[in-house]
Amino acid sequence: MILSIESSCDDSAISITEIATNKLLFHKKISQELDHSVYGGVVPELAARLHAEALPKILQECEPYFKDLKAVGVTASPGLAVTLIEGVTLAKAVSVALDIPLIGVNHLIGHIYSLFIEKETVFPLTVLLVSGGHTQVMEVKSLTEITTIAKSMDDSFGESFDKVAKMMGLGYPGGPAIQELAKEGDRKRYNFTVPLLRTPKLAFSYSGLKNAVRLAVEKSEPKDYKDIAASFEHIATKHLVHKLKKYFQNHPPKNFAIVGGASANLYLRSQIKDILKSYNAKLLLSDLQYCSDNAAMIGRVAVEMYKKKMFTSLEELEVAARVDF
Ligand code: KG4
Ligand code: ZN
């Protein structure tokens, strides 16, 4: 079995995965959303302190599995340096105490493998990762053959939802709140500009849209917020769809996946489903409970890395976790 730890942002999570079967034997996550909500975003130092409290508590529940552990996997990067180090420190302690190797897992690869929790892998795969930290398109041939095709030049898709929600006083995380508000709204009322519409570049940008929404919020009243939310969600999604269509012209998808916290967005899912129809491509999605950060996805990657003996030294792990992304 492998014990896995995730602490890259505001979720403290630990899982146990059986190596031979990919079976998830234990899975627990303590989310800090409510603690950060009043600030409209994650406060890194507060998150680190809450991880220091929550992770050892969850680890205690895993004690019955300790004798069967073959390795400990932990999110090494990218993420908030002060929160990553909490998970890494605990992983080091487990590794030394039980004399088992460490496996440093890349968080973005973790999101890709959220598709394969308790399942076999499916490759090759074109992936759209939309989270609070990232917006990127990747071609994935295997665990070690991942090419980034396009990424955001500034804010991420999820982050733009968080910032728009903050402008409307909706708390954190903003994605679910904006999605809910948008359901009642008129998607066409506010004619926001689709970002990077005239440039052929395969890239994403959300800071301009965010500023346009800010102006609209300032000029309006709370009764208009549902229309602003709906128009924003529409344009934020249209931007992704527009760039994907451009990419698909020369690279038609076969298996396409949306992963990351914001892949839970239903409007995004429906719009992408529509474009995939014309390519006869299959859409892969993670279970809703595994879209946002969790340790099961880190464990699923760690199982693959364990089989390939991709272990990480204590020093390498510390260096990786000390950089903010
Ligand atoms: O993957 P995740 O849990 O953390 C990161 O690795 O960043 O993603 C969290 C992000 C937040 O920005 C949150 O607002 C966004 O995912 N999110 C959504 C939805 N649910 C979560 N964004 C849009 N629509 C949603 N339904
Ligand atoms: Zn994430």
Sole residue written with tokens 């970002």: 195
Closest approach atom of ligand 1 to CA 158: 12
Closest approach atom of ligand 1 to CA 79: 6
Peptide bond into 173 cis (omega under 30): yes
298 three-state secondary structure: helix
Residues within 6 Å of ligand 1 by CB: 9, 131-133, 158-159, 161-162, 173-176, 179, 260-262, 264-265, 292-293
Task: Tell me how long the chain is.
Answer: 325
Strand order in the sheet with 2-6: 24-31, 11-17, 2-6, 71-77, 102-106
Please give the distance, rounded to the nearest whole angstrom, from the Cα atom of residue 294 to the centre of ligand 2.
Answer: 8
* Ligand 1 site-directed mutation target among 11, 259, 265, most atoms within 8 Å of CB: 265
> Is the pLDDT confidence value at 295 over 70?
yes
Span 69-77, mean pLDDT? 97
Please give the distance, rounded to the nearest whole angstrom, from the Cα atom of residue 314 to the centre of ligand 1.
Answer: 30
The ligand whose atoms approach the alpha carbon of 159 most closely is: 1
Strand order in the sheet with 125-130: 145-151, 135-142, 125-130, 255-259, 282-285
| CA distance linking residue 10 with residue 145, whole number of Å | 29
Q: Whose CA is nearest to atom 26 of ligand 1?
A: 265
Would you state the pLDDT for residue 302? 98
Would you state the pLDDT for residue 325? 58
Span 247-275, mean pLDDT? 97
* Burial class, 45, CB count within 10 angstroms (exposed 0-12 / middle 13-18 / buried 19+): exposed
- Write the pLDDT tens digit of every residue in 41-54: 899 999 999 999 99
| CA distance linking residue 272 with residue 292, whole number of Å | 19
Please give the distance, rounded to the nearest whole angstrom, from the Cα atom of residue 12 to the centre of ligand 2.
Answer: 12
Span 127-150, mean pLDDT? 97
Q: Whose CA is nearest to atom 7 of ligand 1?
A: 132
Please give the distance, rounded to the nearest whole angstrom, from the Cα atom of residue 24 to the centre of ligand 1.
Answer: 23
Can you give the pTM of this predicted structure? 0.95
Q: What pLDDT band is residue 315 in, cutting at 50, 70 and 90?
A: confident
> Is the pLDDT confidence value at 138 over 90?
yes
Nearest Cα to 269, choosing from 157, 138, 194, 153? 157
What domains does the chain contain, in order, with CATH numbers?
2-117+290-307 (3.30.420.40), 125-285 (3.30.420.40)
Please give the distance, rounded to the nearest whole angstrom, from the Cα atom of residue 166 to the centre of ligand 2.
Answer: 20
* Ligand 1 site-directed mutation target among 292, 293, 324, 325, most atoms within 8 Å of CB: 292
Residue 48 has which token pair? 């680190």
> How, if at all, do strands 2-6 and 125-130 pair?
unpaired
Please give the distance, rounded to the nearest whole angstrom, from the Cα atom of residue 261 to the centre of ligand 2.
Answer: 6
| CA distance linking residue 47 with residue 8, whole number of Å | 10
- Write the pLDDT tens digit of every residue in 193-239: 999 999 999 999 999 999 999 999 999 999 999 999 999 999 999 99
Would you state the pLDDT for residue 324? 62
